[in-house]
Structure 1
Amino acid sequence: MCLDGYNSAIAVTVLGSSSLASMFKTQRPGNLHTRSVAMLLRRALGLLSFVGAALAQEALPYVDPDNGIEFWGITDVVHSVTYGYVFPPLASSGPQPTEYIGEIVAPLDSAWVGYALSGNMIDSLLVAAWPYNGDIVFTTRYATANVLPDVYPGPIITTLPVGTYVNSTHWKTEEVSTSIQRLPFPLGNCHPDPPMFPLTQLRRAQSTIAVDTPSDPGTSMVQHTDFGFYFFPFGEAHVSAELYDNWAAGGTGGGNSTGTGTTTTSVPPPTRTQAPVDYIIVGSGPGGIITADRISQAGKSVLLVERGGPSTWETGGRYQAPWAAGSNLTKFDVPGLFESMFTDPDSFWWCEDITVFAGCLIGGGTSVNGALYWVPSDNDFSTSAGWPQEWVNHQPYTSALTARLPPTDHPSTDGERYLEQVSTVVAEMLKPQGYSNVTINNDPNYKDHIMGYAAYDFIGGQRGGPVATYLQTAQARSNFKLQIYTEVLNVVRNGSTITGVTTNDTSVLDGFYPLNPNGRVILSAGTYGSARILFRSGIGPTDMLQTVQSNPQAAPLMPAEEDWIDLPVGYNVSDNPSINLVFTHPSVNSYDNWADVFTDPPAADAAQYLKSRSGIMSQASPRWNFWSALGAPDGITRWMQGTARPGAASINTTLSYNLTNVFTITAYLSTGIQSRGRIGVNAALNAMPLVNPWLNDKTGSDEAALLTGLNNIISTISQVPGLELIMPDNTISMTEYVKTYDPSTMDSNHWVGSNIIGTTAGKAVVDPNTKVFGTDNLFVVDASIMPTLPYGNPHGTLMSVAEQAAAKILALAGGP
């Protein structure tokens, strides 16, 4: 009998990677959001074609020199922590074994270390270990949601007499873990048919911050200070009963050990080296995918490195809504599941080490957003918007984008629009204010007092974007490779020349990925991710570089101080300040506030979508959009974008209302805003805002313009019978509402500008060719180079940026 089901066997787990974000209670100063961030990959890992990419972090066999136990595991090259496991043989019939032998070897600066064999925090056993008074303390825990897990008393952990110690430099534990019953997948490959995935994703984590009470296995503990991913071949990690029983009883020998009791244990150093390429592109968001496609199209060898995993079905994703089981549709494929991105307890797609919402998966933000898609205007690339003159002629690149990825305002395959009552009501309210009803993308330059149906980059009733278009053509080329679950830590510099990147890939020497002669690195890790990589590479303001230098894991990878490059990385950041107004109208259908779209939507709607990719599920929640130009005390015009959708994320009102009739208008202040913020990293190198970018301009004109726009929106409520504003309610003025608005909910997650483009080093981070000042071959192509916010959501403008940047980089002399 093969292992099967949830009560099958053999495993302990300790904290793993992003699973640890909410595994233990965390109160981190400066966090803008409290959110659940769960594990990567709840189900099987993607299509077979992606397994090769994942192999870069595969566990290898090694022999412990202390006692001769034959483990399979890795040594994390950044923290020098070894994780190893060995399992007893699988039973041919009857109950399966419920134990294993594991080990951790860690330097003393690892206050605690953890691993997760199940690949999931929720409904999985969790284990952590740390040294205390010369001994090792273990904790086993279990969680059913993203909260501090309860202590789980079932497992029994027994340390082995040979191989567990604390010395002057390291601590090491070797333990037998028994009575393990909670694992959501089998640990052996004994299925009747060959398994598609002989490797299972595991997580490892460590912290430099000690637990609250180290003598107590039930202690509280803050989240890890670093984490990583690797893959484990469970089918190969079983040994004979004779060997296993000997080791579990404390015996030595077997394997190749002499049993001499040496004082260190580690996996043999990796011997594989990564093949050099012409271009390493970091991050598979829209900037990275489009740039990689165009550069590989030019015949250059391209390695696209993504720290997360699959998203849509065609990328290998398999995370499905229960009602979509049996279809080729993941959560990320179905537009109507957009609202559930923020409520799903298994939200592995968010980057755990960034304190605002950021997508860590193939497609980045374009795989998890509402996919609103506005063709950029001429003003969005004007010199008045901060762009160098070389960028003003954007139209050839914007046309190339829309030819590959045309927007649509009727994504349902039957051509119908659904759940459009909100559009009708909002249009009735805005028409008396002089708004014209238009097809918005027909004239991108026309953005004053216009309104129309929301436009998306969905294709055939499913999520489209660069993943469904540019990535597919890139993958058809032999000179392109996508590597997932691989995090780039920093670029490797020889003065101004980049020779490659350092990754968390434990299967290659020092995690180093090299470039060909004259090769180039392009950072496309997003406004936060690219800035952090620059900091870790000795590029940025001194205070951030010193923060990195004080981190014991990152410091050894930094260049010498004399090679630091002082640039305003992290400054000049913009994001749309946004305010929600909540209304009710008797004609509106809130669609049960999107509460059950993932678990149990209306059966007829689910069936319609599965049959023909049509109906309510073929569209994300936004239904109607509008723009207006606003005056302000400083004489600078600001623009406001409004987005209307059924339902409401939160309601705080003294008024009675019917939840089935609520809808929200989110008002975003965009082009023309003067407020700026700053982002950076903390001691754990988590990326975060240091100065919020909302409504902080010296004259207060941003706030004044926003108030004008909000008051304009509600000025004609009385002209629409049955329409009522319930938030803010009649107990508070609009001015008070804005002034007391929670800044954490003012965040639109449209962050731009942290690596601003320009013509002068010191005022900008990248030059007009997107090359980082002070370097020969390092570039940035993502939202971080955008100097200001465009009229609408930056999704469309960013994709045009990538088209133009790829062309400029290829045309630049000196490349491969």
Structure 2
Amino acid sequence: MLRLFGLLAFAGSVLSQAALPYTDPENGINFWGFTDVVHNVTWGYVFPPLATSGPNPNEYIGEVVVPVVNQWIGFALSGSMIDSLLVAAWPNNGKIVVSTRYATSNVLPDVYPGPTITTLPSTTINSTHWKWVFRCQNCTSWLGGSIDVTSPSNIPAWCVSTIPVDDPADPGTSMVQHTDYGFYFFDFSSAHVTAAQYNNWAAGGTGPGSGGPTTTTTKTTTTSTAPPTATASPYDYIIVGGGPGGIITADRISQAGKSVLLLERGGPSTWETGGRYQPPWAQGKANLTKFDVPGLFESMFTDPDSFWWCTDINVFAGCLLGGGGAVNGALYWLPSDQDFSTNNGWPQEWTNHQPYTAMLKARLPPTDAPSTDGKRYLEQTSTVVSQLLAPQGYQNVTINDNPDSKDRIMGYAAYDFIGGQRGGPVATYLQTALGRKNFKLQLYTNVLNVVRNGSQITGVTTNDTSVAGGFYPLNPNGRVILSGGTYGSARVLFRSGIGPTDMLNLVKNDPVAGPNMPPSSQWINLPVGYNVSDNPSINLVFTHPSINDYDNWADVFTDPPAADVSQYLANRSGILAQASPRLNFWSALGASDGETIWMQGTARPGAASWNTSYAFNQTQMFTITAYLSYGVKSRGRIGINAALVGTPLVNPWFVNPLDKSTLITGLQNIVSTMGQVPGLEMITPDNKTTIPAYVNAYDPATMDSNHWVGSNIIGTTAGQAVVDVNTKVFGTNNLFVVDASIIPALPYGNPHGQVMSMAEQAAAKILALAGGP
């Protein structure tokens, strides 16, 4: 329950969902609240007057108005699941069942007995909605935390679930994770009324009383909502998704003088964007978040309060400003000529990538020595792996000096870090865009679908309740660019009536999304979700006496070595200035059909898991992850399920048996010279398991490299591709896609660099295309 409510700070100028004053016409209570337009759930709260002396009252009155499709709702006024008071409620046999919970980690929260919650008489339940009005006493403070009822800057969290709790009669029942969640801005300091008003309502009375905030009365037969305050201003370009593709495209198009609105569904990431999720050792000492510090990469996957992962996608995907570029290891390989070749599926018009890659490199030069003192740290793994590969003919090089050389080469891992901190488009392209008056960034704004009249897109529908219908319009001849990633952009297309019929019917049957779809006569049948690639990856785990596995990164977020903390805080140098990968290598492998498939290797200290019969020293572990990359033959399919959650439908790994046999050959090559490295021992697989047996038994769920590409593949023919050579969606006049989903096949290395180069070229092509604003 309430799994990903991470404690978030925000930039007020870009947070559009805000609580507004309203009066429930059925009970006369003056609430401050908002309505989520996706689920049509209204959340409202009002507080007693502030104390003139001593502590403030520890209570409030709240209400939620919920369509019956939602089986239960939950909220945390602090905006965090961890160490916060959580409240959940659901109807059962004509009554509201209430459960207060508390959790110290990312598990099903325990029942928390502190609050006293009284359901008030204006609570109603009917065939379409249930409205719960309640008094919550002892609810603004709890074990280890509180909310500041005097603060003008708060971000409460909410969640809903379409899956019933296990035992609806039991407030302590088990329940599965919510199916959606969100945040909004709330000025607690304004949401107070007089003692006379509050005491009347708290005792079950109705009517406005006297005094209190200025309110707006809304007449409605089903819900009590804060009315929209305005019609949104139109833009030349609306860009959906603040990841690498969206940020670079937004910067280049705004640079050309066009008005640009960049909508990001998540919140801030790095400190300069308004993020405040700090490692404990940086609090009060440096303006650093988890996302700023390169060495905290491994903790992205182990932190119990991991609010940065999308909860409506069944693979790892970043839902915050920067997207995957804010939470990845930032490995950064300048694309090769082959990466953009017709052999790799690109149209001829895209093969001249060099000018755009040069533009990218000028804005964001890669580095394989990210520590500000120019030194490399924790490099024992690089040394050992180099000793393993050198007898096989590998040459040690600076990898980005010659991007076209990818056979039997190895070198230090390269990143897009800047000054010992995470760099990427957030630190570069976004900052220049933010300096322009014709550019606007808006966070916490989830685009649900594009609004179209046949082939013409008129704008986008969002969850933003501050504008009428959540609708953001385009200027005449304006354009929408989807940059939500391989899963996110595909889902927006499905919800907009674009894609295979089976996916569109799932949307049509959804009670919330279905009514927003165009009529079936306007559906556009394109292979959205097909042709998907991801690197199949296999981990080999070793030990060597020289290795320092850095405690397997276990306490790097909460309590890394004091000397490393001091060094990093002093000048952004040392171990914490680099993500965990230490060395990368490539080799060309001959497949049995006579073609070539490339293998990339990444070596890092530590291990995610291991399975061995050996006794071994855990502090000496390191991992080599071997990926198949350029030339991989398998393809899969992604889509949505009945809950509209993005999910793999056909896994893209080892669909073609040549991929498996080729990777087995590559793994056997890697370990073939182990005997020439004294002290080197492989513990997974150990000597009781052959490489083929190990690969055959490998859990497909752990083969995901999170390098998904191809769901909206680029091409020249509608039906075989989703977007044309200008990245325009076939069958539309003004809808484009610029993200990893248009990449037709995997590049040699991690696709981060290729996505950014692609965005540079895509922006130029879109601007040059006739008919635009």
TM-score band (shorter)? over 0.9
Deviates more, 1:590-599 or 1:762-771: 590-599
Give the equivalent residue in structure 1 for 2:504.
545
Give the equivalent residue in structure 2 for 1:247.
201
Correspondences of 1:34-53 after superposition (within 5 Å)? 38-40=4-6, 42-43=7-8, 45-46=9-10, 50-53=11-14
1:575 to 506, 518, 534: 534
Query: Are 2:275 and 1:317 aligned?
Result: yes
Query: Are 2:255 and 1:292 aligned?
Result: no
Query: Are 2:85 and 1:125 aligned?
Result: yes
Give the equivalent residue in structure 2 for 1:777.
734
Give the equivalent residue in structure 1 for 2:166.
212
How far is 1:92 from its partner?
A: 3.3
Query: Are 2:255 and 1:303 aligned?
Result: no
How far is 1:265 from its partner?
A: 4.2
Give the equivalent residue in structure 2 for 1:728.
685
Correspondences of 1:354-373 after superposition (within 5 Å)? 354-373=313-332
SS at match of 1:97: coil
Alpha-carbon RMSD across the aligned residues, in angstroms, is: 1.7
Alignment check: 8 A CA contact 2:363 2:428 kept? yes
Deviation sequence 1:587-628 (CA, Å, 0-9, x none): 111111111111111111111111111111111111111100
Mapped partners of 2:441, 2:221: distance in 1: 40
SS at match of 1:533: helix
Alignment check: 8 A CA contact 2:460 2:471 kept? yes
Give the equivalent residue in structure 2 for 1:635.
594
Give the equivalent residue in structure 2 for 1:660.
619
Give the equivalent residue in structure 1 for 2:353.
394
Alignment check: 8 A CA contact 2:79 2:183 kept? no
Mapped partners of 1:667, 1:143: distance in 2: 38
How far is 1:684 from its partner?
A: 1.1
How far is 1:177 from its partner?
A: 1.2
Give the equivalent residue in structure 1 for 2:145.
184
Mapped partners of 2:205, 2:218: distance in 1: 13
Give the equivalent residue in structure 2 for 1:9.
none
Q: TM-score, normalised by structure 2?
A: 0.97
Deviates more, 1:175-184 or 1:244-253: 175-184
Q: Which runs of 5+ in 2 are unaligned?
A: none
Give the equivalent residue in structure 2 for 1:604.
563
SS at match of 1:232: coil
Summarize the Cα distance change of 1:632–1:264 in structure 2 as closer, same or farther, 3 Å threshold.
closer
Give the equivalent residue in structure 1 for 2:37.
77
Correspondences of 1:82-231 after superposition (within 5 Å)? 82-161=42-121, 163-180=122-139, 181-182=141-142, 184-189=145-150, 198-231=152-185
Query: Are 2:769 and 1:812 aligned?
Result: yes
Mapped partners of 1:342, 1:220: distance in 2: 25
Deviation sequence 1:35-81 (CA, Å, 0-9, x none): xxx224x25x14xxx21111x21111111112211110112223322
SS at match of 1:172: strand
Alignment check: 8 A CA contact 2:22 2:216 kept? no
Query: Are 2:694 and 1:740 aligned?
Result: no
Summarize the Cα distance change of 1:260–1:52 in structure 2 as closer, same or farther, 3 Å threshold.
closer
Summarize the Cα distance change of 1:726–1:767 in structure 2 as closer, same or farther, 3 Å threshold.
same
Give the equivalent residue in structure 2 for 1:31.
none
SS at match of 2:619: helix
Mapped partners of 1:134, 1:661: distance in 2: 61
How far is 1:348 from its partner?
A: 1.0
Mapped partners of 2:663, 2:301: distance in 1: 26
- Percent identity reads 73
Alignment check: 8 A CA contact 1:574 1:753 kept? yes
SS at match of 2:510: coil
Deviation sequence 1:452-511 (CA, Å, 0-9, x none): 111111111111111111011111101001100110000001100000000000111110
Summarize the Cα distance change of 1:267–1:733 in structure 2 as closer, same or farther, 3 Å threshold.
same
Equivalent AA in structure 2 for residue 301 of structure 1: S
SS at match of 1:62: strand
Equivalent AA in structure 1 for residue 751 of structure 2: P
Alignment check: 8 A CA contact 1:453 1:624 kept? yes
Give the equivalent residue in structure 2 for 1:528.
487
How far is 1:255 from its partner?
A: 5.0
Q: TM-score, normalised by structure 1?
A: 0.92
Alignment check: 8 A CA contact 1:541 1:569 kept? yes
Mapped partners of 1:208, 1:519: distance in 2: 36
Give the equivalent residue in structure 1 for 2:408.
449
SS at match of 1:428: helix
Deviation sequence 1:270-299 (CA, Å, 0-9, x none): 141110000000011000000000000000
Give the equivalent residue in structure 1 for 2:455.
496
Alignment check: 8 A CA contact 2:242 2:321 kept? yes
1:431 to 373, 381, 390: 390
How far is 1:259 from its partner?
A: 12
Alignment check: 8 A CA contact 1:502 1:512 kept? yes
Summarize the Cα distance change of 1:435–1:262 in structure 2 as closer, same or farther, 3 Å threshold.
closer
Query: Are 2:366 and 1:407 aligned?
Result: yes
Alignment check: 8 A CA contact 1:68 1:254 kept? yes
Q: Which runs of 5+ in 1 are unaligned?
A: 1-14, 23-37, 191-197
Summarize the Cα distance change of 1:332–1:262 in structure 2 as closer, same or farther, 3 Å threshold.
closer
How far is 1:120 from its partner?
A: 0.6
Mapped partners of 1:397, 1:412: distance in 2: 27
Deviates more, 1:804-813 or 1:654-663: 654-663
Query: Are 2:603 and 1:644 aligned?
Result: yes
How far is 1:91 from its partner?
A: 2.1
Deviation sequence 1:774-814 (CA, Å, 0-9, x none): 00000000000000000000011110000000000000000
Alignment check: 8 A CA contact 1:571 1:677 kept? yes
Deviation sequence 1:293-340 (CA, Å, 0-9, x none): 000000000000000111111111111111112201111111111111
Mapped partners of 2:100, 2:76: distance in 1: 11
Equivalent AA in structure 1 for residue 268 of structure 2: P
How many positions carry a matched residue from both structures?
766
How far is 1:238 from its partner?
A: 1.1
Alignment check: 8 A CA contact 1:67 1:260 kept? no
Give the equivalent residue in structure 2 for 1:671.
630
Give the equivalent residue in structure 2 for 1:238.
192
Summarize the Cα distance change of 1:186–1:134 in structure 2 as closer, same or farther, 3 Å threshold.
closer
Mapped partners of 2:68, 2:589: distance in 1: 59
Mapped partners of 1:288, 1:263: distance in 2: 41
1:705 to 652, 656, 662: 662
Alignment check: 8 A CA contact 1:66 1:263 kept? no
Alignment check: 8 A CA contact 2:279 2:557 kept? yes
Mapped partners of 1:206, 1:593: distance in 2: 36
Alignment check: 8 A CA contact 2:79 2:156 kept? yes
Equivalent AA in structure 2 for residue 52 of structure 1: S
How far is 1:216 from its partner?
A: 1.8
Query: Are 2:464 and 1:505 aligned?
Result: yes
SS at match of 2:611: coil
SS at match of 1:462: coil
